[in-house]
Amino acid sequence: MLLALLPLLFLAVTVSADAKSLIVPLTRKATGSLQGLAKQERLRFGGKAYSPARRAVPAKYSLWAFYATIGIGSPVSAVNYDLVIDTGSANTWVGAGKTYKQTSTSEATGSKVHVSWADNTLYMTGKEYIDMVNITSDLVIKYQAIGVASDTAGFHGYDGVLGLGPVSLTDGTTSGKHEIPTVTDTLFKEGTISANTVSLALAPATNGGSITFGAVDGSLYVGNLTWAPITSTYPANGYWGLDASIAYGGRTLLNSVGAIDTGSSFIHFPTDVFNKYRSATGAVLDSATSLLRVTSAQYDALQPLDFVIAGQTFSLTANGQIWPRSLNTAIGGTTSKIYLVVTDSGKTSGKGLDIIFGLSFLERFFTAYDTAAGRIGLAQTTFTNATTN
């Protein structure tokens, strides 16, 4: 049952000056109750390999996600599907909500598909098809491999996923044991975009955002864009992973690696680092939300939370470290309380994937993903120092 549906903001599609790139609008909504969202995200990163086996899943799994409305089939946009934007996976698939409709461009490959997240608490199982994918009327993929789900868990309120992660994440997700080109890969291969690049500009709270395929739009960020190579550390190197250090109030908490994940709402730290941050802020763990809670005085005293990436510091202000207070009740909290967005991953540091940069970070910084060069770009935006929360 849908217990929370938060306000949405629709943005107009804007074509870049470069005819080989295009900006696509994103919308945001919540499905299911967001209470316990932090606990649910602890197991977010897990195996994606094909397997017909799965375990029992919770009846309700909430998502607080950005999505794009994508058309599949012929004629153009024969059927539109609301697909979650996910940089933590690379398969594009439909069938979680709206049933896939075969048209004249649909072609079954004979392969089975299984993609799982969160130790199989979220998954899709189905068949692979080749079909026409219409991101917009000007951004059409003629031959894209997609998954068509016959069984899913955890995606109530959405029709599937638009995977923007590295293509290696698709390896082993089909019974054919082959990699499946991502939508960005295929757009580039078909010559629709001039660079195998995608970038994200997101906004805090209930606001929307946009994806740019094929270019990095300088109008969507302020200052300089910093490029960081994908880390060589396993397993973060299989994602959009990067080397990073964390400091709070000028004191270094960790030198390690992390990954960017639009499928996570929070910023996840390993338990030992989380405890250092909790101690430094004076926060207490709130039993109702599983988030850290601070008093008004402690909020006023919050110091910058710094992430040093490729020699540049990306700082979260005090306001950037808290959950939007207008959405407190959606997560089971109290309107007057203040909750922090740094959560405990439940793992110790040194495992090769220590930091998850979820939406709470990405709403404050522009990010770009360059497949050809194997690098990630970051920059400030007009929301970096916003007091929206």
CB neighbours (10 Å) of residue 52? Answer: 8
What torsion, rounded to 10 degrees, do the Cα atoms 372, 186, 24, 228 define? -20
Active site residue 217: no
What digits encode the pLDDT tens for the residues 95-115? 999 999 999 999 999 999 999
Say whether 210 sits in a helix, a strand or coil.
strand
What's this model's pTM, rounded to 2 decimal places?
Answer: 0.89
Is the distance from CB of 353 to CB of 340 less than 8 angstroms?
no
Residue 331 phi/psi, 5-degree rounding, is -100, 10
Active site residue 344: no
Alpha-carbon span 163 to 184, nearest angstrom? 9
Is the distance from CB of 157 to CB of 34 less than 8 angstroms?
no
What digits encode the pLDDT tens for the residues 113-148? 999 876 667 889 999 999 999 998 888 999 999 999
pLDDT of residue 85: 92
Judged against a pLDDT cut of 80, whether residue 30 lies above it is answered with: no
Residue 294 phi/psi, 5-degree rounding, is -125, 160
* Catalytic one of 86, 217, 286, 306: 86
Percent of the chain with pLDDT over 90: 69
* Catalytic one of 261, 306, 354, 370: 261
Is the distance from CB of 361 to CB of 376 less than 8 angstroms?
no
Give the list of residues 6+ apart from residue 111 with CB closer than 8 angstroms, or none.
Answer: 127, 128, 174, 175, 176
Q: Domains of the chain (ranges plus CATH)?
A: 14-213 (2.40.70.10), 221-380 (2.40.70.10)
What digits encode the pLDDT tens for the residues 197-216? 999 999 987 678 999 999 99
Residue entry with tokens 């107009």: 12
Nearest to 278 by CA among 248, 318, 242, 304: 248
Alpha-carbon span 129 to 352, nearest angstrom? 34
Tokens describing residue 84: 């979650």
What digits encode the pLDDT tens for the residues 316-367? 999 999 999 988 988 889 999 999 999 999 999 999 999 999 999 999 999 9
Please name the residue ranges forming H helices in 133-238.
Answer: 183-189
Give the list of residues 6+ apart from residue 245 with CB closer than 8 angstroms, or none.
Answer: 252, 254, 255, 256, 307, 308
